[in-house]
Each structure stands twice: as structure tokens, then as C-alpha cells.
Homo-oligomer: A and B are copies of this chain.
Amino acid sequence: MTKLSGVVNEEPVPAGAQVADALRVRITEGGLPPGTQLRDTALAAEFGIARHTLRNALRQLEYEGLISYRMHKGAVVKTLCTEDVHEIYRVRRTLELAAVQQSALAGSAALRGLEERVRAAEVAVACESWNTVGTASLWFHQALVELLGSRSIDRFFQGILAQLRLAFAVMPDEAQWQPPWIPRDREICDLVRGGQRGAAIAATRQYLEDSELAVLDVVRADEMTGRT
């Protein structure tokens, strides 16, 4: 509803892309829980844009893996199945471990980014802003992958983590679930910055192992409730 105010000299952004951004936020913040049907006429009306333009936005989100399209059945916010979780963690293992392995070659700016984002997560824990904690932690892992120095990989990984956030969206008690991971993020951060590559790899591998199992629990629990 709010017409986005653009700073004058910026490159103009197509309306569809703006709506895509807004929807992406709504989905990853849990405003549109997995399984939600996205009726294009309704959404178009809500955002005050034409149906075609909205459908463009939905297409973009489909490419990013946040919604799934089926012919003549429209768009649905994706619900993660266990295989999806395995897939997400296959990607995480590949990219995060590769990033830690090559961390010696990373620029100092990227390394500082690590520290910043871990600290942000710790602040979120201190503030007891639980819904922020999960996002901050994911941002840290995004920063890890950014050590590789590849923009396309960064974008790709961003989509993967956005999908992972779909699992957070159906989590019953984020306050219990999220905080324990932050000290482990801190540990990985310090090991990487300290140049202790072997230990960093081991810590990251174990982290991903444990995290995958934990997320699987959440997804399986959600599958149970959904099947009733």
C-alpha cells in the first residue's frame, strides 16, 4: 500500500521487483506461513498493482525457491519436506566448508564482516529479541560464504537460507530453539579469524550436522500436525 519513496538519483526499480522484495520479507518473517495459497487477484489488489505485475513478482520468488507453482493451481508458499532439508544442508556443507577452507585467502573486510554479524546475533540474544536471533545467525553464515568472494554464490546461498527460514516460520518456540546456536557461531568465527583452519572446519561440520538434525525434528513435527 505504501508507495515506496525513492531517492531521486537511484536507478528506478520495477514495481514487480519491489513487490517481490516485500513478499519475500513477509514470507521469511512468517507473515505468510508455508502452505499459504497466494491468490494473485487478492495480492495484486492489496499491493495496488496489476495482476501481471504481481505474477512477475511471484515468478521471481519461485526461482528463489520460496514458493512453488503448479499449473492451473497457482502459487503456494513452499513447505519444506525432509528431503528439502537434506538438500539445503548439502548446499550448506558444500559452500560453508569450502569457505572455511579458503578463509586464508579472504579479504580483511570479509573477515571483519564475520565478527560484526556474530556480534549482532549476540546482541539480539541479549535483547531477548528471539525472532531476530535466527535471522542474525543466518546472516553470520551468509558472511561465512561471502569469504569465497563470489557474488553469484552469495546470491544463490541467500536463496538457500531464505528457504531455511521457512522452517523457522513453522517453529513453535523460537525462543528455546535459536539461542543455543549463537555461541557455536562465535566459536566458528573466532577459529576462522584465528587462522585455525582445521579446528574451524571440524566445528563447522559438527555445527551443520547438529543443525540439520534439529531442523529435521522441527519439520517432521510440523508434518505430523499438518497431516491430521
Q: Tell me whether A90 and B14 are in contact in the complex, defined as CB-CB below 8 angstroms, given that A56-B56, A59-B60 are known contacts.
A: no
Residue A31 interfacial (CB < 8 Å): no
Q: How far is the CA of A149 from the CA of B149 in the complex (A)?
A: 23
Q: Tell me whether A11 and B71 are in contact in the complex, defined as CB-CB below 8 angstroms, given that A91-B150, A91-B153 are known contacts.
A: yes
Q: Tell me whether A90 and B149 are in contact in the complex, defined as CB-CB below 8 angstroms, given that A56-B56, A59-B60, A63-B60 are known contacts.
A: yes
The reply to whether A90 and B150 contact each other, CB–CB distance below 8 Å, is yes
A74-107 vs B, CB cutoff 8 Å, 1 = contact: the mask equals: 0000000000000100110011011000100000
Q: Tell me whether A70 and B153 are in contact in the complex, defined as CB-CB below 8 angstroms, given that A98-B94, A148-B90 are known contacts.
A: no
Residue A176 interfacial (CB < 8 Å): no
Copies in the complex: 2
The reply to whether A151 and B94 contact each other, CB–CB distance below 8 Å, is no
Q: Tell me whether A148 and B71 are in contact in the complex, defined as CB-CB below 8 angstroms, given that A56-B56, A59-B60 are known contacts.
A: no
Q: How far is the CA of A208 from the CA of B98 in the complex (A)?
A: 17
For A91, give its contact among B59, B90, B97, B152 (CB under 8 Å): B152
Chain B residues whose CB sits within 8 angstroms of the CB of A98 once the complex forms: 94, 97-98
14 more A-B contacts (CB under 8 A) besides A94-B148, A156-B156? A11-B70, A11-B71, A12-B71, A55-B56, A56-B56, A56-B59, A87-B150, A90-B148, A90-B149, A90-B150, A90-B153, A94-B102, A94-B150, A97-B98
24 example contacts (A-B, Cβ-Cβ < 8 A) are as follows A11-B71, A12-B71, A12-B72, A13-B71, A14-B71, A55-B56, A56-B56, A60-B63, A63-B63, A87-B150, A87-B151, A87-B152, A90-B148, A90-B149, A90-B150, A90-B153, A91-B152, A94-B95, A94-B98, A94-B148, A94-B153, A97-B98, A152-B156, A156-B156
| Partner-B contacts on A (CB < 8 A) | 11-14, 52, 55-56, 59-60, 63, 65, 70-72, 87, 90-91, 94-95, 97-98, 102, 148-153, 156, 160
Of all A-B residue pairs in the complex, the 6 with the closest CB atoms, nearest first, are A90-B150, A12-B71, A63-B63, A156-B156, A98-B98, A94-B98
